[in-house]
Amino acid sequence: MNLRCNSINLVSISLLVSLGFPLSIFSSPHLPNFLGSSFESEVLSQTVGDLKSEADQLLQQGIRHIKSHQFNEGIRLYQQALAIYQKLGDYESQAEVLALLGYISSFQENYPVAINYLERALKLAREIPNRYLEGNILFNLGGAYIFQKDITRGKEYLQQSLDIAREINDRDLLKVHEQIWQSLTGTVPDSNISSTQSRQHQTLSQNLNTSRLVEASSLNDQGIELGNAGQFEQAQHFFEKALTIYREIGNQQMESRVLGNIGLLYFSQGYFDQAIDYYNKSLLIARKAQDYQWEAAILTHLGTVNFERGNYAQAIDYQMQSLSIAQKLGDKELEARIQDQLGSIYLNLGGSSERGTSELEGR
């Protein structure tokens, strides 16, 4: 069994993170359908399942428009989706679409409109209740108020978001908190962002270099799109430009991830020496930044490329290092994927994948 992936799996931190908006809302599984003039009769004739199916398809269209910076079309689709979800009485989907509309408005620097959308989304999230969604929306609100230079209110929402993230152990949201604060202030958020942090927030307001963060994220996203399309030379060009910006602003987490993306480009073309070189650079920075999730991912990639080169003992060693991190993090999904890959390695070596897995579980 060949371990090489058929499609490149590049890591993206979208414009949402650049602006201080968590990725989880953007990747919501719901969104819009096109409304014609006969909407009322269509609602009567279509089942709830039909409408939701349409919304899922339009979600993908909406995401493509947003990634292409076609915001007017994205807004049109999201507003139509909102009308459908209101007809269906689907509060959770309404909250998610309102949050997306809030994001787009923030990106366009229309903060009063963004805040209106987000506060409506927050009310629904609390009524449901959905603490996960509530924490993300609070983070978005905090970012919107800070960009509007209302630091006091912004930090209040950020603190509420951080409290919820810790309460429900939302690792993605906690990581975004770290990324945005580290990018903008050079510090990781303290457990109490209240009175003791006023000077930090003053620094934040003075250092909101939004354009550079947005530019780097956009370049990284374009690199991902080009890499997935097989346009490797152009993809690397965009990644290198993003890398330069992340180094300039001192964002080590994103520097590490972009280096990993470049490594994946080389791996996909069969240039294993270059892939290993970039993976090792990425791994070094990930360890320095204590980005354990990405460290585990890069170790897995190093295991895969060494397997492709026939260095089976080294491949197993890297996968075992990654497995150890996954177990310490309590990431069962990542742990299961690594065990599957290790089982495949044993199978390729002429052994039993079941035997290999059982040996791993006994370590």
Check residues 153 and 41 and name the one with the higher pLDDT: 153
First and final CA of the chain: distance in angstroms?
24
Q: Are 96 and 82 in contact (CB under 8 A)?
A: no
| pLDDT > 70 in the chain, percent | 71
Across 212-226, average pLDDT? 78
Chain segment 5-39, per-residue pLDDT in tens:
333 334 333 333 333 333 333 333 332 322 333 34
> What span, in angstroms and rounded, lies between the C-alpha atoms of 17 and 14?
6
Residue 292 has pLDDT above 50, yes or no: yes
Type of residue at 133: L
Q: Are 338 and 354 in contact (CB under 8 A)?
A: no
Q: Are 218 and 15 in contact (CB under 8 A)?
A: yes
What does the DSSP 8-state code read for residue 192? -
Residue 363 has pLDDT above 80, yes or no: no
Output the CA angle 193-196-201, nearest 5 degrees: 60
Please tell me the number of Cα atoms within 13 Å of 303 on its side-chain side.
Answer: 27
Check residues 56 and 132 and name the one with the higher pLDDT: 132
Across 274-282, average pLDDT? 96
Cα dihedral 117, 121, 123, 128 in deg (nearest 10): 160
Across 118-133, average pLDDT? 92
Supply φ then ψ for residue 326, to 5 degrees.
-60, -40
Task: Name all domains of the chain by residue range, CATH numbers in brackets.
Answer: 15-206 (1.25.40.10), 291-363 (1.25.40.10)
Residue 65 has pLDDT above 50, yes or no: yes
Q: Are 151 and 204 in contact (CB under 8 A)?
A: yes
pLDDT at 272: 95
Identify the band that residue 349 occupies on the pLDDT scale cut at 50, 70 and 90.
confident
pLDDT at 120: 95
pLDDT at 320: 94
pLDDT at 356: 45
pTM: 0.48
Q: 205-219, 227-241, 248-262: which has the minimum mean pLDDT?
A: 205-219
> What span, in angstroms and rounded, lies between the C-alpha atoms of 13 and 223?
12
Please tell me the number of Cα atoms within 13 Å of 324 on its side-chain side.
Answer: 8
Average pLDDT, the chain: 74
Q: 23-32, 85-94, 97-106: which has the minimum mean pLDDT?
A: 23-32
Q: Can you give the C-alpha Rg of the chain in angstroms?
A: 22
Identify the band that residue 259 occupies on the pLDDT scale cut at 50, 70 and 90.
very high
| pLDDT > 90 in the chain, percent | 27
DSSP-derived 3-state class of residue 165: helix
> What span, in angstroms and rounded, lies between the C-alpha atoms of 224 and 131?
31
> What span, in angstroms and rounded, lies between the C-alpha atoms of 75 and 69?
11
Q: Is 270 left (phi over 0), alpha (psi -120 to 50) or beta?
A: left
> What span, in angstroms and rounded, lies between the C-alpha atoms of 297 and 187?
24
Q: 94-98, 124-128, 272-276: which has the minimum mean pLDDT?
A: 94-98
pLDDT at 35: 31
Across 49-55, average pLDDT? 75
pLDDT at 188: 53
Across 241-256, average pLDDT? 86
